[in-house]
Structure 1
Amino acid sequence: MSVSARQAAAALFDTTIGVCAIAWSGDAVFRFQLPEADQAATRARITRWRAGSEVPEGEPTAVIAEAIAGIRAHLAGELDDLRWIPLDTSAIPEFHRAVYAVTRAIDPGHTLSYGQVANRVGAPGGAQAVGQALGRNPIPLVIPCHRVLAADNALHGFSAPGGISTKERLLEIERTPGFGEPTLF
């Protein structure tokens, strides 16, 4: 399946972390947007598609409405792996799709390192390439790039709005060990 601007639509929706946005074609998601600084910025980002082309806002299909409900629940702490949400990744390069497949298999509350993802896609030593692919992830949260960390479990770079603080907040919501837990000292 290939995304067509004529078939595509987008919608904004409230969540516990702010206004998110989703874009779909048919019943498959091809973009997701975490909250920007304000609703207008989120709208501008999700509706901008290819050069000279915009995605119009529209009423979600039943499948997309269910995806929105699942995302809202997940962000409210009702953890869901969101793997049931249909995606259209046809416009994504092959290596990136492989990285996203490995990343999508990481359960909430768990993480992998960039190097571990590289090994799983058959690219040992390709941690930097994995990081670059994740930095271009058009469907964050559903393809949970926030669950990939540096080898030392440190938070480095996150291209979504809010950067590292957003990544940390998502890991806290998912009750990932080491994030958001009280310390003894």
Structure 2
Amino acid sequence: MWFAIASTDLGEFGFGWSSKGIARLNLPGEPAVSIAERFVGLGYSAAVPPEAVSELIQEVRRYCEGQKVEFQHVALDLTGVSPFYQRVYARLRELGWGKTTTYGDLAAELGDVRLARAIGQAMGANPVPLIIPCHRVLASSGKPGGFSAPGGTSSKLRMLALEGVQPGAPIGQLGFGF
């Protein structure tokens, strides 16, 4: 498993990959040295990104500039991720740019509204935020809810703003910038 760090308009991102696909993505909010230490601690080695990862880095840079970028095509390596979490992540990857859902709605789509807390736990354990767009999952009130990545809720709000979403607006208007 390998990693590389790339600068964007939002800060330093860390990209971890295997021969199967992207296995980890660290959002900005920490110095590059801290990101590198985290990857090394997980058994990754620094490397020059292969073409697919280099293309992803460019897409992430465009995203950080506010350009509409979709990440559904990115190959992932979710080895070690529970089948339930993989199911949650697969559904969430279908949620496109500027669209949001709630923990409860996502749970209902997966067949049981009582799974809302488990959905929250899956979001907190997401190894590839942005590619699996956990920032698009909101509390039932339309407010942002939690976000475990560096920067917490302010990072989530910044990512949503790039997509034209203003959490806290009436639920039906979340994706329309009202």
Give the structure-1-normalised TM-score: 0.87
2:92–2:134 CA contact under 8 A, matched in 1? yes
Match for residue 65 of structure 2 among 63, 76, 89: 76
Using the alignment, how far apart are the partners of 1:47 and 1:155 within structure 2? Answer: 32
Q: What amino acid does structure 2 have at the position aligned with 1:71?
A: V
RMSD over aligned CA atoms reads 1.8
Compute the displacement of 1:171 (Å).
0.2
| Displacement of 1:178 | 4.7
Partner residue in 2 for 1:33? 26
1:24–1:30 Cα contact (<8 Å) kept: yes
Contact 1:108 1:176 in 2 (8 A): no
State the alpha-carbon separation in 2 of the partners of residues 16 and 45 from structure 1: 22
Report the residue type matching 2:103 in the other structure: Y
Aligned to 1:9: 2
2:171 aligned residue: none
Distance (whole Å) between structure 2 residues aligned to residue 48 and residue 99 of structure 1: 27
CA-CA distance at 1:177 after TM superposition:
4.2
User: If each structure's helix is expressed as a fraction of its own residues, which one has the higher value?
Assistant: 2
Report the alpha carbon displacement of residue 43 of structure 1 after superposing the two structures with TM: 1.6
**Is 1:21 aligned to residue 14 of structure 2?**
yes
Q: Does 1:125 align with 2:118?
A: no
Output one character per residue of 1:65-90: Cα deviation in whole Å (capped at 9) or x when no partner: 11111111111111111111111113
Q: Give yes or no for contact 2:101–2:137 (8 Å, CA) kept in 1.
A: yes
CA deviation profile, 1:108-144 (whole Å, cap 9, x unmatched): 1110000111111223221111000110000000000
TM-score, normalised on structure 2? 0.90
- Give the secondary structure class of the aligned counterpart of 2:113: coil
- Paired-residue identity, %: 34
Runs of 4+ residues over 6 Å off in structure 1: none
Which of 150, 159, 163 is the aligned partner of 1:161? Answer: 150
Whether contact under 8 Å (1:158, 1:164) holds in the other structure is yes
Structure 2 unaligned runs (5+)?
169-176
Alignment of 1:1-150 (within 5 A): 8-26=1-19, 28-49=21-42, 54-150=43-139
**Aligned length, in residue pairs:** 170
Distance 1:129 1:30, change over 3 A: same
Looking at structure 1, the residues matched to 131 and 116 of structure 2 have their Cα atoms a distance apart, in angstroms, of 21
Whether the 8 Å CA contact 2:3–2:47 is kept in 1: the answer is yes
SS at match of 2:6: strand
SS where residue 70 of structure 2 aligns?
coil
Q: Which runs of 5+ in 1 are unaligned?
A: 1-7
Distance 2:5 2:67 in 1: 20
